[in-house]
Amino acid sequence: MKQMLDFLRPAPPTFGHRVRAGARLLSGMGRARLRGRPFMLSHLVTSRCNACCPTCLWRDPDGRELAADDIRWLYHQAGAAGIVHLVMWGGEPLLRTDLPELLEAAQQAGLVVTLISNGHLLRQRWPEIRGRVDALIVSLDDAGTAHDRQRGLPGLFADLDDFVPGLRSDPLRPKLLVNTVLSRLNRGALRRVAEVARAWRVGLYFCPMETGRMETGGFAESLGHLSLPLSELREAARLARLLKRSGYPIMATDAYLELLAADPDLTAYTCRAPRAILTTEADGSFRDCLRRDRSLATVPQMRAAGQTLDTLFARPRYRAMLAEAEHCTACNNPDVIEISWLWDLELQMLERAVGLVVS
Per-residue pLDDT tens digits for 11-52: 443 445 556 666 777 777 888 888 889 999 999 999 999 999
CA 337, CA 346: separation in Å to the nearest integer? 12
Q: In what order do the strands lie in the sheet with 277-280?
A: 203-208, 175-182, 135-139, 112-117, 85-90, 40-46, 277-280, 285-287, 295-298
* DSSP state letters, 80-93: HTT--EEEEEES-G
Q: How far apart are CA 5 and CA 268, in angstroms?
A: 22
Q: What is the pLDDT of residues 286-321, one digit of tens each?
A: 999 999 999 999 999 999 999 999 999 999 999 999
Q: Please state the rounded mean pLDDT for residues 240-256.
A: 95
Angle between helices 334-343 and 347-358 (to 10 degrees): 90
CATH number of 3-358: 3.20.20.70
| Nearest one of 91, 82, 105 to 34, comparing CA atoms | 82
Residue 137 DSSP SS3: strand
Burial-class residue 57 by CB neighbours within 10 Å (0-12, 13-18, 19+).
Answer: middle
The per-residue pLDDT for 6 is 43
Q: Which of 149, 205, 209 is nearest to 183 (CA)?
A: 209
Domain segments of the chain as ranges: 3-358
Taking the model in full, what pTM does it have?
0.91
